[in-house]
Every structure is written in C-alpha cells, then in structure tokens.
C-alpha cells in the first residue's frame, strides 16, 4: 500500500514546528483538552481580514474608504477584550488602519483571489490553505498576507515564512502561472515586507514541510501502536507558552504566567 498523504494547512504544520505538544492537543487528542478564553488580538485580526474580504466583494465603484465603517462594524468580533472602552479604542484604530490601507488600493484591480483556498499535492503532502489575497501582477501571481500585530515585519519574515512559501507553491499550480513574490502587509504601520522566492527556495520550504509531515506521521503511528504520547509529542517551553490555548492542560505551560486575553491589544490604548 502506498503511504497516505499527510493532509495539512500551513497552520497545522506551523503548530507542530512551534511545539509538538500543542500540535497533539490541537489535532491528535480527542476529545481535545479545553482551550483557554478567546484572545482579543485574534478577534481584531479576524475582524480586519473579513472587512477587507467584504470590501473586495463590493462592486469596484463602491470600493471607497466610505464603505469601511459599515463593513468593519458588521464583521466586528467582540470576544476577548477587557471591557467596552478597550474594544472601542481598538475598533477606532482598526478603522484608521483600514482607511489608510484601502486608500492605497486600486479599486479597479481585481485580485486573482480573496480568501482563496489553494490546494496541491506533493509526494508526501496534500496541502490546502486559505490565502488572504492573491494578486495578478505582470503575468505572475503574488501572495498577500495581512498582519495586524504590534510589531512591524521585515523581508526576513517574508522570506522565512513557510506558510507564504506553501501558498506560493500551491498558487503557481492552481493558477498555472509563476508565483514567486510573497508579501506581508502590516496594516498598523502601513508597511509591506516582501520576498521574491526562487524555484529552489520554494522547493526547500516544501522539503522542510514534508520533513515535518513525516515526523508527525511517525509520531502519530507510534502513539497508535502504544508508544508514550508525551514522549512522541514533547513540550517546547518558551515565550509562546504564555499565549498558548492549552497552557492549563500542559505541564510546561502550567508553570508559566499566562497572558491576559487582551494583553496584545493593550498598547493601542497607550497610543491613543
């Protein structure tokens, strides 16, 4: 029998590479351990992403900044904030970011895809992922990923992102055109961090993803055959633990002081 393909998204692979134990809690253990409360920064990210998706769903003639307050209000996710005051400040900031960002977009320019799922297979992986936006530029496809976190990003972040590389690899196959350029659009700072991949650099990222997939499949197989799940999916304690949804279920995480659900948006109030 041929080995089955490992079905994955970028976030599934990224979870394993960050911490095998977190991967196990998310994707292997059933029932999955109870997660902590929702995070305000996830709510913020989801709200901004959906508002931009819906902006592109408008007819080109209506794609102006004046559409944004309605779009953002209707997609606003309220979970995770400390209180209504913090939520209001964050909403105002998000609207400001969107205003600036959208003012720099050409409403007539139709992307190849918005929140578009691209999927492809390799000898090891059946990959699928939802790209924020895929632009058509000069006959090529360009991967665009929106970011709403506190810190800006640079070209190294774009170059090193396995998720962006896998999107590019898949998009080239789906759209049958070259896809080498990947971009991180950081809305709070209005900056774009970009990288031009080569065939070789994309192949390297795919190989790394396949290596991770093989490790995961081997660990899952070992656990199914009776191996100790704690050993096969070890903890990786570090700065991520404070933000981990499974901190309360994890022996390493239990020793770490957890972040408040709104910790990653508090700086927005100070900047008011």
CA distances from 251 to 17, 23, 233, 239, 248 (A): 19, 15, 13, 15, 8
Residues in contact with ligand SF4, shown as a per-residue x/- string from 196 to 235 under the rule CB under 6 A: ---------------------------------------x
Closer CB to ligand SF4, 101 or 246, in the complex: 246
Q: Which stretch binds ligand SF4 (CB under 6 A): 35-43, 55-63, 70-78, 239-247?
A: 239-247
Confirm if 41 and 264 have CB atoms less than 8 A apart: yes
Q: Name, in order, each residue with C-beta under 8 angstroms of 187's C-beta and a sequence gap of 6 or more.
A: 48, 97, 98, 100, 101, 146, 147, 148
Q: Which stretch binds ligand SF4 (CB under 6 A): 60-68, 159-167, 215-223, 236-244?
A: 236-244
Q: Which of 65, 75, 100, 236 binds ligand SF4 (CB under 6 A)?
A: 236
Closer CB to ligand SF4, 13 or 206, in the complex: 13
Residue numbers 241-270 binding ligand SF4 by CB under 6 A: 241, 244, 246-247, 250, 252-253
120 is an interface residue for ligand SF4 by CB under 6 A:
no
Q: Which of 240, 258, 260, 269 binds ligand SF4 (CB under 6 A)?
A: 240
Minimum CB–partner distance for residue 25 and ligand SF4 (Å): 6
Number of residues that bind ligand SF4 (CB under 6 A): 14
Residues in contact with ligand SF4, shown as a per-residue x/- string from 74 to 103 under the rule CB under 6 A: ------------------------------
Residue numbers 4-23 binding ligand SF4 by CB under 6 A: 19, 21-22
**Residues within the interface to ligand SF4 (CB under 6 A):** 19, 21-22, 235-237, 240-241, 244, 246-247, 250, 252-253
């Amino acid at each position: 029998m041929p080995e089955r393909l490992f079905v994955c998204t970028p976030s599934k692979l990224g979870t394993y590479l960050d911490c095998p134990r977190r991967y196990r809690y998310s994707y292997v253990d059933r029932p999955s351990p109870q997660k902590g409360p929702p995070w305000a920064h996830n709510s913020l990210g989801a709200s901004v992403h959906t508002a931009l998706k819906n902006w592109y769903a408008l007819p080109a003639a209506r794609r102006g900044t004046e559409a944004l307050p309605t779009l953002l209000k209707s997609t606003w996710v309220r979970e995770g904030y400390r209180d209504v005051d913090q939520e209001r400040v964050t909403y105002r900031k998000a609207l400001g970011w969107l205003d600036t960002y959208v003012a720099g977009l050409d409403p007539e320019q139709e992307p190849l895809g918005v929140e578009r799922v691209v999927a492809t297979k390799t000898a090891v992986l059946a990959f699928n992922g939802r790209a924020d936006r895929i632009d058509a530029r000069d006959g090529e496809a360009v991967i665009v990923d929106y970011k709403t976190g506190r810190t800006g990003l640079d070209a190294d972040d774009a170059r090193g992102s396995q998720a962006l590389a896998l999107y590019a690899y898949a998009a080239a196959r789906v759209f049958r055109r070259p896809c080498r350029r990947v971009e991180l659009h950081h809305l709070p700072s209005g900056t774009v961090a970009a990288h031009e991949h080569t065939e070789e650099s994309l192949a390297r990222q795919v190989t790394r993803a396949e290596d991770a997939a093989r490790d995961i499949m081997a660990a899952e197989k070992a656990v199914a055959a009776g191996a100790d799940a704690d050993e096969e999916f070890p903890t990786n304690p570090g700065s991520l633990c404070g933000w981990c949804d499974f901190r309360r279920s994890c022996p390493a995480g239990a020793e770490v002081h957890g972040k408040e659900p709104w910790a990653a948006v508090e700086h927005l109030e100070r900047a008011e």
